[in-house]
Each structure stands twice: as C-alpha cells, then as structure tokens.
C-alpha cells in the first residue's frame, strides 16, 4: 500500500522545482557553448540530451510526490502545470540543438547565437523566480522576475521575426530555409515556455503570498 502524507511537503516540492529550473539553466548554457564554439557537435548535443533526460526524471519525481502527498503547498493543478512547463523548456532547447545536429548545419547563424543568449538570460531569470517559491512567498520579488521573463520573451520574438525575414531574403535554397525555420521556431518556443512558467508563478504568488 502506498505511503500518503497528510502534511504538505513544501521542502520536497520546492527543492524539486529548483532542481528543474537549475537544470534548464544548465541546458541553456550548453546550447550557448554549442553555438559559440561549434566543435564536437555530436558530443555536445549528446550532453544536452543527457540533461534533458535529467529534467524528465525530475518531472517524474514531482508527479510521484504529488500522488503520495494528500495536502500540497499549493494547488495540484499549478504544481502539475509548473512541472510540465519547466520540463518543456529543456525539451525545446534539446530539440533545437538536436535538429542542428540532425540537419548537419555547417555553421550557426548570428541570429541563432542571439536567440541562444536570450534563452540563457531568460532561464536564469526563471530560476530566480522559481527560487522565490517558499512557504512565505515574496510576491513583489516574484512578480519582478516574472515581468523580466515576459520582457525577454518579447526580445526573443523580435529576434525570431528578424531571423525569418533574413532567412527568406538571403536564401534561395528551400532545404536551408526549412531547416533554419524549424530551428528558429524551437528556440523561440523556449522563451514561450519560460513565459508559461512565469504565468504559473504569478498566479501562485497572487493566491498564496
């Protein structure tokens, strides 16, 4: 018979969320290193894949803990959505890197490097926001980080749009256009998922601070 707790395990949930957010930061950093150095591509992408699998495991631990805990520190729906949104961040970073490898990209574009930099900044801001999840949430500090995440998502969106304009204007090769359009889309989606995390955190801050 499974063990159920009648008391909220704040520490356990918060620790797992922080681990997931930190893992996203680590994956984003590896993406930046991949695009900046552009060597040992297969090994670098494989390392990113390992970190993505680590994120999956953390998400599974959160789900397991949720089933075992009778009283949770905040709404179960918010816990599930936050865990999934954090996992999505690492998934899309991995997808962007993986497609670069699978499509045998010869060199990363400047716009890809710019997006990777914004992804790194956004995930770091996201990690700071998640770190505010404690028994006594500092609403003002939480919302400050969430606003910054939203701002960075807008920056990524502008870079993404500029990248598409340049892609179609400067390339006549359909294969190149298809490859980079998909890569750019995955990279921009990373910041969308970071914004999803911010939206959940904003809701939690407003409800429980």
Question: Containing domain of residue 204, as a range?
Answer: 10-208
The DSSP H or E segment spanning 140 is helix 139-170
Q: Do the domain assignments include residue 181?
A: yes
Asked whether residue 162 is domain-assigned, the answer is yes
| 32: in domain | yes
DSSP letter string over 3-59? --BSS--HHHHHHHHHHHHHHHHHHHHHHHHHHHH--SHHHHHHHHHHHHHHHHHHH
Provide the domain count of the chain: 1
Is 3 within the bounds of a domain? no
Does some domain include residue 31?
yes
Structure pTM? Answer: 0.92
Q: Is residue 1 part of a domain?
A: no
Average pLDDT per consecutive 10 residues, the chain (209 residues; last block may be shorter): 43 92 98 97 98 98 91 90 97 98 96 98 96 80 94 98 95 92 98 97 84
What CATH number should be reported for the domain holding residue 14? 1.20.58.220
> Across the strands, what pairs with 5?
69
Q: Is 138 left (phi over 0), alpha (psi -120 to 50) or beta?
A: beta
Decide if 175 is inside a domain: yes
CB 37 within 8 A of CB 107: no
For residue 4, being part of any structural domain is answered with no
């Amino acid at each position: 018979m499974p063990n159920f707790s009648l008391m909220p395990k704040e520490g356990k949930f918060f620790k797992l969320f922080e681990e997931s957010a930190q893992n996203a930061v680590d994956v984003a950093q590896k993406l930046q290193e991949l695009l900046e150095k552009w060597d040992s591509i297969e090994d670098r992408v494989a390392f990113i894949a390992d970190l993505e699998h680590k994120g999956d495991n953390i998400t599974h631990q959160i789900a397991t803990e949720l089933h075992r805990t009778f009283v949770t520190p905040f709404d179960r729906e918010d816990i599930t959505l936050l865990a999934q949104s954090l996992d999505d961040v690492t998934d899309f970073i991995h997808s962007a890197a993986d497609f670069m490898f699978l499509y045998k990209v010869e060199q990363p574009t400047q716009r890809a490097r710019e997006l990777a930099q914004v992804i790194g900044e956004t995930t770091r801001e996201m990690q700071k926001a998640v770190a505010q999840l404690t028994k006594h949430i500092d609403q003002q500090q939480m919302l400050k980080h969430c606003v910054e995440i939203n701002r960075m998502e807008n920056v990524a969106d502008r870079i993404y749009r500029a990248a598409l304009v340049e892609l179609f204007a400067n390339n006549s090769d359909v294969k190149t256009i298809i490859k980079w359009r998909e890569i750019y889309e995955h990279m921009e989606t990373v910041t969308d998922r970071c914004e999803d995390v911010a939206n959940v955190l904003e809701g939690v801050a407003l409800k429980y601070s």
